């Protein structure tokens, strides 16, 4: 298993600074950083040494363009060596401008073509339910598994503008009708949708029977509570993460920032 000297949230700017070449997607990447960190640090029942464990939670990044934050978090958690980040976007690098599940350890789906992740996540959740994978087990914070085995949960991160894509609405409606309680959609609300929805993002999900929470992007404790709470019976969950008006946390994390591109030697 790779070992990385940077394994804390405060070290993420150094990891981000190693990647260049896709600056136009920096805002898209950074808007997901806090949520991704909380998921992998506090919520998901996953680890680099159990990537094929059928009892693991599944995380699907539908918002796959601008994956720098995703790669930085995976590296910080030991899925691959941090030195690989400096190859981001190179011809022979596994770290492309969109994550590839066949090339990047820990990635569940290849994404970047927007609008597909939530439908895939619904299919994964239904497949796990049909297989009876760990059904009835409860998670233990101490070791990741309860006495009866962990029942895998499925998390899917989408962007607010991505919800304009039609397949999302089919997935939202069907998940609500079927009561897929171990499915959580995470919507990063950058206030960037072209059209919007009557009643807002929350209204679109609530009308189909989802439980709805809105949380600020920078409060890790609140994010954890929202993402890791017990599911409501036969009710999928959506957590809307509001980034508009929130502080750009990465600017305050030590002295390393994305302005310090060019390699670790440029980042203190």
pLDDT of residue 183: 98
Residue 64, in any domain of the structure: yes
Structural domain includes residue 4? no
In 3D, which of 118, 15, 13 has the Cα closest to residue 63? Answer: 118
For residue 107, pLDDT beyond 60: yes
What is the edge-to-edge ordering of all strands in the sheet holding 183-189? 58-61, 154-159, 183-189, 237-242, 211-216
**Least confident piece of the model among 105-109, 145-149, 236-240:** 145-149
In a domain, 173, yes or no: yes
Could you tell me the pLDDT band of residue 136, with boundaries at 50, 70 and 90? very low
User: What CATH number should be reported for the domain holding residue 93?
Assistant: 3.40.50.970
Do the domain assignments include residue 1?
A: no
pLDDT digits (tens, 9 = 90+) for 204-225: 999 999 999 999 999 999 999 9
Tokens of 18: 């190693």
Contacts of 223 (CB under 8 A, 6+ apart): 34, 35, 38, 215, 217, 239, 241
Which pLDDT band holds residue 258 (cuts at 50, 70, 90)? very low
Under the banding of pLDDT at 50, 70 and 90, the label for residue 149 is low
What 3-state DSSP class applies to 242?
A: strand
Q: Average pLDDT of 143-157? A: 69
Which of 9-18, 24-33, 140-149, 241-250 shows the highest mean pLDDT? 9-18
What is the mean predicted confidence (pLDDT) over 45-55? 95
Residue 246 pLDDT: 58
Domain count for the chain:
1
- Please name the helix (run of DSSP H) or strand (run of DSSP E) that holds residue 58, with its range, or none: strand 58-61
| 3 located within any domain | no
Which contiguous run of DSSP H or E holds residue 84?
A: none
pLDDT above 50 for 198: yes
Q: Which domain holds residue 54?
A: 9-266
Alpha helices in the chain (DSSP H): 12-16, 26-30, 33-38, 68-76, 117-131, 166-178, 200-206, 220-228
Confidence of residue 110 (pLDDT cuts 50, 70, 90): very high
Two tokens at 153? 């949960």
Q: Is residue 150 part of a domain?
A: yes
- Pick from 207, 250, 213, 242: which is nearest to 228 by CA? 213
What pLDDT does 2 receive?
Answer: 58
pLDDT at residue 245 above 70? no
């Amino acid at each position: 298993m790779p070992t990385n000297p940077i394994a804390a949230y405060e070290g993420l700017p150094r990891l981000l600074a190693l990647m260049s070449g896709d600056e136009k997607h920096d805002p898209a990447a950074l808007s997901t950083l806090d949520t991704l960190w909380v998921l992998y640090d506090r919520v998901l029942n996953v680890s680099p040494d159990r990537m094929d464990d059928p009892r693991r939670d599944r995380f699907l990044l539908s918002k796959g363009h601008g994956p720098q934050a995703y790669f930085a978090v995976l590296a910080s958690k030991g899925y691959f060596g941090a030195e690989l980040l400096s190859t981001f976007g190179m011809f022979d690098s596994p770290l492309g401008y969109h994550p590839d599940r066949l090339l990047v350890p820990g990635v569940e789906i290849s994404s970047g073509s927007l609008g597909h992740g939530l439908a895939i996540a619904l299919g994964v959740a239904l497949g796990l339910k049909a297989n009876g994978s760990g059904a009835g087990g409860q998670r233990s914070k101490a070791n990741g598994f309860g006495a009866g085995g962990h029942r895998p949960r499925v998390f899917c991160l989408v962007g607010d503008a991505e919800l304009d894509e039609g397949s999302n609405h089919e997935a939202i409606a069907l998940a609500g009708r079927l009561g897929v309680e171990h499915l959580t959609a995470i919507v990063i609300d950058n206030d960037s949708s072209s059209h919007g929805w009557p009643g807002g993002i929350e209204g679109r999900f609530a009308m189909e029977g989802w439980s709805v929470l809105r949380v600020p992007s920078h409060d890790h404790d609140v994010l954890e509570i929202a993402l890791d709470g017990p599911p409501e019976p036969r009710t999928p969950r959506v957590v809307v993460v509001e980034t508009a008006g929130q502080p750009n946390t990465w600017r305050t994390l030590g002295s390393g920032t994305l302005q310090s591109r060019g390699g670790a030697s440029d980042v203190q």
